[in-house]
Amino acid sequence: MKILVTAFESFGGQTMNPAQEAVGRLPLRVEGADISRVTLPVAFGRDGEVLVQEIGRHDPDVCLCVGQAGGRAQVTPEFVGINYMLARIPDNEGARPAGIPVVEGGPAAYFTTLPVHAMVARMRERGVPASVSYSAGTFCCNEVLYTALHAAATAYPRMRAGFIHVPFAPEQVERGGSDLPSMPVDTMVEALTIAIETCVAIRQGDVVSTSSGTES
């Protein structure tokens, strides 16, 4: 089994991206699966191009993309990617799309094909704060999630794909003098390893607990 794991470079004035740090620390083999690690640019359009090129090069069974979600306190596997880009800040090349589709004429949204509820259940069992997220935002993270799922739907039907957000690392918060939540990178590595183990163990469908939904 081959798993492609991607992360982004730093952006938004930050000197590090905890997703990139965590992905870089992943072992090259997890539960018998071969792990390939790739860093994507934070650049609308080009990030998706690089991702699709890497998918074509590695031909993975699973594409797991990882990004930073500053302000979140938990590791959050994403449930849905939407065909919409709206940037609050410019990307690393100065682009700031406002309300345009990721793929012109593409479906409004794609649901992840990874077992995100099972991932969260297993992370919690091992003491990692985690929850399923139902919004990946409208920046490059969502764009890459949608791009991966669109590639699977149109060109790589064997591939499953999804996205996981991680919080700030403690050093980012300390450097910025804020009180935003953070998580040690080692805990993120553990969470991503659990996510990969779950993808290996659960190859179709998902496990949904009765505590996974929301009422508002």
Which is catalytic among the residues 65, 141, 150, 199?
A: 141
Give yes or no: 141 in active site: yes
Which is catalytic among the residues 21, 78, 117, 140?
A: 78
DSSP 156-182: -TT-EEEEEEE-B-HHHHHHHT----B
Beta-carbon neighbour count of residue 162 at 10 Å?
Answer: 28
Q: Is residue 163 a contact partner of residue 148, using CB atoms and an 8 Å limit? A: yes
Give yes or no: 117 in active site: no
Give yes or no: 78 in active site: yes
Which is catalytic among the residues 65, 143, 165, 199?
A: 165
d(CA 18, CA 12): 13
| Catalytic residue annotation | 78, 141, 165
